[in-house]
Chains A and B, each alone.
Chain A
Amino acid sequence: MLRRSMVKLLLGLLLLGNGANIVIFLTGGLTKGKPPIIDQAEKNFTDAYADPVPQALILTAIVISFALNSFAVILLKKVYETTGSDDLDSLNIQDLDI
């Protein structure tokens, strides 16, 4: 993300976003083959089970990050069109004047 190229910036953001999703996935506690369904004979969970909430959270987060990232791609393309440059440092001209 600290690269000067805007495309690299976008790639950095994408990676970070996916990393955050995987963190949520891990916090749910990975349990193999234990669906969160109560057995007919039982009233409560008696065994460890896979928590379904993190998956719902990730799904929401993926949808949101999809929207944000597609916006960012379009924005970068538009910035490239209007300024003719992929270099973030060249965007700072107007910051110099007070």
Chain B
Amino acid sequence: MITNFILAPILAHMITAILLVFFWRNIGAQRVISVTGNLIAFLLCLRLFHATGEFGYLIVQVGSWEAPFGIIFVSDTLSSIMVVLTAIVSLTVGIYSTVALNPSRIKYGYFVFFHFLVMGLLGAFLTGDIFNLYVWFEVVIISSFILLTLGGKKMQMEGAIKYVAMNMLASIIFLTAIGILYGITGTLNMADLAVKIQGIQNHGLISVTALLFFAGFGIKSAIFPLYFWLPSSYHTPPSAIAAIFGGLLTKMGIYAMIRCFTLIFQPDEFIKNVILIIAILTLVTGALGAINKRSIRRLISYLIVCHIGYLMAGIGLHTEIAFVGVIFYLIHDVIVKSNLLMMTGIIQKIRNTIDMTRLGGLYKDYPKTSVVMAVAMFSLVGIPPLSGFWPKIQFFGESLKTGHYVLLAAIIFASFITLFVMAKMWSEVFWKESPKPLTEEIDRFAGLSFIRKFALIAPVTALTFVSLYIGLNAESIYDLSHKTAEELMNPDRYINAVLNGNYGK
């Protein structure tokens, strides 16, 4: 169906961000506008998701320039899932950051760039034009640069320089790849690219371009040899910013990679093997990095890297069941990672440190909050009824069936390490007696008013319930993932919808 509605969530965030600029110094007004804008955008995103489920492909051709000539926005099931995930995370993190962030950070435009960042993410998920994807990527990274450096502490600066350098490099590689692709096909529309690329005889050049895209997106999604910027920068900004980064930014790279390697390029054995080897190395190195970390936020940074390995493994296996696993894992991972990073913020508020050796006794002091956090932590591990369990079964089954035993071993190894570090974190942070006597001054959480406590705890609880819902209602999520995987494995439907106007299911 052709509808302008696709642009509504993007516009909602853009208008919110512009409105916020007018209230630059007024912190109270900024908080209200930001939460309202997030709520409206959240409802619009849900509506978009339902419409996509109902009508199949939603398409808007900007300025009525017909595809493949103009820029188009396409919402298929994968895009709409990503949009809803972004909406959930941005709403909860938005509410959380009204209290969690220092007023001085809000005064210097935190919410403005927060909304521009979310706008960029939504645009990247919805666009159907490869150059437009690049532009949205840039919108996201420039906002993320500002959010990362906001506050200007020494530690932040040190993290930021690696982050900025690596992301600029990734953009340049991505841009070069687009240039070469345009040179050999003469089009930028993703569906048209998929058609034209099949007629190209020069397979060597196509493989090289595919690998350039792989490297560009790989830096953004923090895969094995290119991930070092992530653990050295994600623990530096405040927890709210880390939550939105950890949940969504790396997943944007993964989304682009899924699009690229299902629609535009049909990977041959060589590229599949490259992806699989890198997936194995990412799983192993990420897991090993997480073992000895004392700061819980650094620990989670390494787990982000490690779990990108699962997603890469699914893309590398490139079967329908593997993609079911990828989509399911993506849904689960975005929610849980954002949640865990927000929790580190609450822990820091309570104990004024996130060093595991100096933490302890949280369960005794805050039993209810601790249970909520425990559910999220063990969802990440994938204890059976919880959400992480179901996609991992798909990965196990599929790597066994296709005979990739090394990959199977790596997946099991990474799962065990995740279990180990989460169990360690649970016993160190929550069960162990607090190593030093607690005084009133340290606990900056207990002194907050009820509304402020609510604004901190409610988002975390809400995301935990979403995790629980994903775990306990796994069948419907499985069906959704299955539908998405089917669409991904049959790119003809996407191409048909974009180029010929067959929008049906």
Contacts and interface: CB of A to CB of B under 8 A. Distances in A.
Contacts of B182: 24, 27-28, 53-54, 57
Interface residues of A, number: 38
Nearest to B132: A60
Contacts of B135: 60, 64
Nearest to A23: B179
Interface string B130-151: 0100110010011001100100
Interface in B320-345: none
A9 B166 CA distance: 11
Q: Which 9 A-B pairs have the closest CB atoms?
A: A27-B183, A24-B179, A91-B158, A23-B179, A20-B176, A79-B157, A20-B175, A64-B138, A82-B154
B160 A71 contact: no
A41 interface: no
A57 B180 contact: no
19 contacts: A6-B161, A9-B165, A13-B168, A13-B169, A13-B172, A17-B168, A20-B175, A21-B175, A27-B182, A51-B186, A68-B138, A71-B164, A72-B164, A72-B165, A78-B152, A78-B157, A82-B157, A91-B158, A98-B294
B169 A16 contact: yes
Interface residues of B, number: 38
B131 A57 contact: yes
Contacts of B169: 1, 13, 16
B160 A75 contact: yes
B196 to A, nearest CB: 14
Given A78-B149, A83-B154, A98-B292, 19 more contacts: A16-B169, A17-B168, A19-B176, A20-B172, A20-B176, A26-B183, A27-B179, A28-B182, A53-B182, A53-B188, A57-B179, A61-B134, A64-B135, A67-B142, A68-B142, A71-B142, A72-B165, A76-B161, A82-B157
Interface in B117-131: 131
Nearest to B232: A95
**Residue from A9, A29, A54, A61 with most neighbouring chain B CB atoms (10 Å):** A61
B178 interface: yes
A60 B141 CA distance: 16
B467 interface: no
A72 B161 CA distance: 8
A16 to B, nearest CB: 5
Interface of B: 131, 134-135, 138, 141-142, 145-146, 149, 152-155, 157-158, 160-161, 164-165, 168-169, 171-172, 175-176, 178-180, 182-183, 186, 188, 232, 292-295, 298
A75 B146 CA distance: 10
Interface of A is mostly: helix
A59 B306 CA distance: 38
A78 B416 CA distance: 42
A9 B161 CA distance: 10
A94 interface: yes
Contacts of A26: 179, 183
A79 B175 contact: no
Given A67-B142, A71-B145, A13 B165 contact: yes
Interface string A28-48: 110000000000000000000
Contacts of B178: 24, 57
Contacts of A94: 155, 158
B23 to A, nearest CB: 24
Given A57-B131, A75-B149, A82-B152, A16 B172 contact: yes
Contacts of A19: 172, 176
Contacts of B149: 75, 78
A11 interface: no
Contacts of B134: 61
**Residue from B168, B183, B295 with most neighbouring chain A CB atoms (10 Å):** B168
Nearest to B167: A68
A72 B157 CA distance: 11
Contacts of B161: 6, 75-76, 79, 88, 91
Nearest to A24: B179
Given A24-B182, A53-B188, A95-B232, A75 B172 contact: no
Nearest to B176: A20
Contact of A27 (B160, B180, B295): B180
Nearest to B160: A75
A82 B293 CA distance: 26
Contacts of B152: 78, 82
Contacts of A82: 152-154, 157
Contact of B179 (A1, A6, A20, A76): A20
Nearest to A60: B135
B148 to A, nearest CB: 10
